[in-house]
Amino acid sequence: MQLLQLAGMGWISRSLSVAARLDIASRLVDGPKTPEEIAELCDADPDGIRYLLRVLGVVGVFHENEDGTFQHTEISQQLRDDHPQSMRHWCVLGGEMYYDVWRDLLTTVQTGKPASRSEYGSSIYAYMDKDSDAGEVYDKAMVDIARPAAAEIARDFDFSWVNKSIDVGGGSGHLLKTILAAHPTMEGVVAERADVAERGAKSLAEEGDDDLSRRLSFTPVDFFEKVPSGGDAYFLKNVLHNWSPESSIRILKTIRRAMVGTVEEHEGVGVEPTLFIIEPLLGHDNVSSIRALFQMVVCEEGTRIRSEEDLRSQVASAGLEIRSIKNLGTEHSVIECRLARD
């Protein structure tokens, strides 16, 4: 690709998010349509739709037929909400909140400080506390990218010893919903920021699954302060990579206190509480550097790529010890931790 095209890559990201917002993918489920027909269905301008879909066609998302109608490609199918590997909300997030934050990449590169601060004057989480639409998109985008790892964990790990699981920073509960579906007597709690917990509980109720609603609940927490005790298994998935080493140790210490609480509640008898950290452990190749720069731009100041060695040191500083590390078929590793023995 030439610089001429590369310079416009941001327009592709924005175009994807607009197509996802307008839900063009669901309008094409029953076959090709003209731009006029699509525009009518999503209350848009026909020429705007025509050029938007032609731009996306350049990267294989939607295809224009000789008669001027547009139809799905294999990739564009993933913009449908009902696709099993839907990426619709991830595309909205990439072309909206993340795109807006990347606008100030220059500040990050010049000062090392996150562009999220200069763009929003706060962390993205504080921003989403005030903008519930952005928060809802973020929750759903996290589900989009969590599906493959959640399915693999629920399928390949033996949780038959777990009565109660607590997912710290568990978003709208996709991981626990998947694990609970595979373990019919397990109970689960998603411990999340208040607005995420409220939205998660609401959508769980709307799903109308009585069995799941009986076994799964959401509780508002600040994981720097306190998370519930009583869990046999604690999960912490895709959380630590948003935080500096110091903040990561604080989060791990909060979970450690909850695990000690579990031991006390069980009076030392019963299962040993276990924390499963699910994270990509990265090296210093160029692909990992895309993530490294993302962390500098979007996450807390001081957040950097985490290698296995970094994680081992943070886990030890929090009074935990690693029992095993298993790599998933996704980019994640599952790091099984227990309370450190003195």
Ligand X SMILES: C[S@@+](CC[C@H](N)C(=O)[O-])C[C@H]1O[C@@H](n2cnc3c(N)ncnc32)[C@H](O)[C@@H]1O
Cβ-based neighbours of 3, under 8 Å, separated by 6 or more: none
**Near ligand X by CB under 6 A: residue from 192, 232, 279, 300:** 192
Closest approach of ligand X to the CB of residue 317, in Å: 19
Closest approach of ligand X to the CB of residue 312, in Å: 21
Q: Is 63 a catalytic residue?
A: no
75-83, 178-186, 191-199, 202-210 -> range binding ligand X (CB under 6 A): 191-199
Binding mask 201-240 for ligand X (x = CB under 6 A): --------------------xxxx------------xxx-
Q: Where are the alpha helices (DSSP H) in the chain?
A: 3-6, 9-21, 24-27, 35-41, 46-58, 74-77, 88-95, 97-102, 105-111, 115-120, 124-130, 132-156, 174-182, 194-207, 210-215, 245-265, 286-298, 308-317
Residue 200 binds ligand X, judged by CB under 6 A:
no
Which candidate in 241, 266, 284, 332 is catalytic? Answer: 241
The residue among 108 and 238 lying less far from ligand X, judged by its C-beta, is: 238
The residue count for binding ligand X (CB under 6 A) is: 17
Among 198, 277, 199, 287, smallest CA distance to 243 is for 277
CA distance 35 to 73: 16
Q: How many CB atoms lie within 10 A of CB 147?
A: 17
- What letter represents residue 181's amino acid? A
Q: What is the largest CA-CA distance in the chain?
A: 74
Binding mask 155-184 for ligand X (x = CB under 6 A): --------------xxx-------------
Sign of CA dihedral 216, 222, 223, 226: negative
Residue 193 binds ligand X, judged by CB under 6 A:
yes
CA distance 18 to 107: 27
Question: Pairing mode, if any, of strands 233-237 and 216-220?
Answer: unpaired
Residue 125 binds ligand X, judged by CB under 6 A:
yes
The residue among 187 and 192 lying less far from ligand X, judged by its C-beta, is: 192
- Binders of ligand X among residues 138 to 157 (CB under 6 A) are 142, 146
Binding mask 307-326 for ligand X (x = CB under 6 A): --------------------
**Residue 269 DSSP one-character state:** -
Closest approach of ligand X to the CB of residue 201, in Å: 14
Residues assigned a catalytic role: 241
* Binding residues for ligand X (CB under 6 A): 125, 142, 146, 169-171, 192-193, 196, 221-224, 237-239, 242
